[in-house]
Structure 1
Amino acid sequence: MELKDKVVIVTGGGQGLGRAIAEFFAAKGAKLALVDLNQERLDQAVQACKKIGVEARSYLCNVADEAQVIAMVNQVATDFGSLNGIVNNAGILRDGLTIKVRDGEMSKMSLENWQAVLNVNLTGVFLCAREVAAKMIELKSEGVIVNISSISRAGNMGQANYSAAKAAVAADTVVWAKEFARYGIRVGAVAPGFIETEMTSGMKPEALEKMCSGIPLRRMGKPYDIAHSVGYIFENDYFTGRVLEVDGGLRL
């Protein structure tokens, strides 16, 4: 797909990987619909895209809320007059061991923390993919859906909730690629490893060094690396139903 003048939704687009993806696509000439829950961050991201020279709009939306997702997708299609794809990037963390025993005291991962991560990282992806696919079919528009999975989909200690969601996202990428191909819709995913973000920038140097020591490339990835990979999936018309691993060679 040629990205110039295409309308693409980026969830979690106000910061981090989402903003990097938005700015990468803006540089390619795409029109951006940025979705997040933080209006201030959204406004900053929209202005950054506009400075590059493209149309960009912001949308407050909880991706785990069905009614909000339906309304958001309809509004994007109305505002831009078309819809060509989505990057399902929005996600949260609620890390913790499933069961932890310390000094004779036992604690458990709460159902609340389990469900919160599944609601956003899995149900949110399902709702957004479903509604965007339906809208593109309605508009008779060929398009692309890219889901952000994670290296943690293989199972990472302390992330039972996150790993489950990201594994399911990878599996559904294959399902939707098969289901939506007849409508001219491709579906792919990117599984990032450890990426430089605001969260990692606050880590102690020794912790960062330990983290990077297990990565064959001996460094964390940059948001641009993930944005570039998402762009590749959009632009390669024969890519569908697969997950790109962008982790510097690390395997959990």
Structure 2
Amino acid sequence: MQLKDSVIIVTGGGQGLGRAMAEYLASQGARLALVDLGQERLDEAVAACKTAGGDARGYVCNVANEDQVSDMVNQVATDFGTINGLINNAGILRDGLLLKQKDGEIQKMSLTQWQSVIDVNLTGVFLSTREVAAKMIELGSKGLIINISSISRAGNVGQTNYSAAKAGVAAMTVGWAKELARYGIRVAGIAPGFIETEMTGSMKPEALEKMTAGIPLKRMGQPQEIAHSAAYLFENDYFTGRILELDGGLRL
């Protein structure tokens, strides 16, 4: 797949990994539809993509809302004339232990903590993929859908909700690759380890230091390294149904 002039939707494209991937793809001539919740960040990301050399537009959309996702995909197809790819990157964290005993009382992860992460990180991927794939088939376009999973899909302390969602994303990637291949649509995944983003930047310094010490390469990954890998997946037409692990050799 040629990146130049390809139309690619990036959810969570207003910041972090999403913006980094969008800017890199724009530098290769791709046309980006950036999806996020905040208009201000979208505007900044769109401007950055244009500066990098690609066309871009922003779309305010909650990926956990079925109607909003459907409307967004239809609008992107109208604005750009086609859709060639999707990066399911939007995600949130609501970390916490399943149970924690404090002062003789047991504190529990709330259903809200669980459901909010499942809604965005798992259901959002399902809805976005379903609508984009349907539109691509309708338009007769071929391309790639990338799902952003995580090293935490193997299970991580304090991330019951996040790990469950990212494991589900990895499993859906394999199934969808088999289902959609007949339409010329590939589906692949990227499972980042710990990457320097706003999300990890909010962690306590001592926690970051301890985490980094356990990475064989002794450093966190850079957003540009994930972006470069996303571009590789788009350009390699024989990569499908697999998860690309980018974690510096770390195993949880």
- TM norm. shorter chain > 0.5: yes
Cα offset for 1:102? 1.4
Find the counterpart in structure 2 of residue 88 from structure 1: 88
Q: Does 1:16 align with 2:24?
A: no
Find the counterpart in structure 1 of residue 121 from structure 2: 121
Q: Distance in 1 between matches of 2:99 and 2:211?
A: 23
Find the counterpart in structure 2 of residue 171 from structure 1: 171
Q: Distance in 2 between matches of 1:222 and 1:53?
A: 21
Deviation string 1:32-64 (CA, Å, 9 cap, x unpaired) is 000000111100000001112221000000000
Q: Distance in 1 between matches of 2:39 and 2:229?
A: 27
Find the counterpart in structure 2 of residue 98 from structure 1: 98
Find the counterpart in structure 2 of residue 251 from structure 1: 251
Query: Which amino acid is the alignment partner of residue 220 of structure 1?
Result: M
Q: Distance in 2 between matches of 1:36 and 1:69?
A: 11
Q: Distance in 1 between matches of 2:152 and 2:17?
A: 16
Find the counterpart in structure 1 of residue 154 from structure 2: 154
Query: Which amino acid is the alignment partner of residue 59 of structure 2?
Result: Y
Query: Which amino acid is the alignment partner of residue 212 of structure 2?
Result: C
Q: Does 1:40 align with 2:49?
A: no
Which ranges of structure 1 fall in alignment gaps of 5 or more residues? none
Query: Which amino acid is the alignment partner of residue 71 of structure 2?
Result: A
Deviation string 1:1-37 (CA, Å, 9 cap, x unpaired) is 1100000000000000000000010011000000000
Find the counterpart in structure 2 of residue 73 from structure 1: 73
Which ranges of structure 2 fall in alignment gaps of 5 or more residues? none
Q: Distance in 2 between matches of 1:49 and 1:116?
A: 30
Deviation string 1:68-113 (CA, Å, 9 cap, x unpaired) is 0000000000000111010000000000011110121211011111
Identity %: 74
Q: Distance in 1 between matches of 2:22 and 2:75?
A: 19
Q: Does 1:26 align with 2:23?
A: no
Find the counterpart in structure 2 of residue 215 from structure 1: 215
Query: Which amino acid is the alignment partner of residue 15 of structure 2?
Result: Q
Cα offset for 1:229? 1.3
Q: Does 1:231 align with 2:231?
A: yes
Cα offset for 1:205? 3.8
Query: Which amino acid is the alignment partner of residue 229 of structure 2?
Result: S
Cα offset for 1:216? 0.2
TM-score, normalised by the number of residues in structure 2: 0.98
Q: 1:116–1:202: structure 2 CA closer, same or farther, 3 Å change rule?
A: closer
RMSD: 0.9
Q: Distance in 2 between matches of 1:194 and 1:137?
A: 35
Query: Which amino acid is the alignment partner of residue 161 of structure 2?
Result: N
Q: 1:192–1:175: structure 2 CA closer, same or farther, 3 Å change rule?
A: same
Partner secondary structure for residue 146 of structure 1: strand
Q: Does 1:54 align with 2:38?
A: no
Cα offset for 1:202? 4.2
Partner secondary structure for residue 158 of structure 1: coil
> Does 206-215 or 34-43 show the bigger shift?
206-215
Q: Distance in 2 between matches of 1:221 and 1:140?
A: 37
Query: Which amino acid is the alignment partner of residue 157 of structure 1?
Result: V
Find the counterpart in structure 2 of residue 3 from structure 1: 3
Q: Distance in 1 between matches of 2:15 and 2:176?
A: 27
Q: Distance in 2 between matches of 1:103 and 1:213?
A: 32
Query: Which amino acid is the alignment partner of residue 19 of structure 1?
Result: R
> Does 78-87 or 225-234 show the bigger shift?
225-234
TM-score, normalised by the number of residues in structure 1: 0.98
Q: Distance in 2 between matches of 1:203 and 1:73?
A: 34
> Does 65-74 or 100-109 show the bigger shift?
100-109
Cα offset for 1:204? 4.4
> Does 203-212 or 180-189 show the bigger shift?
203-212
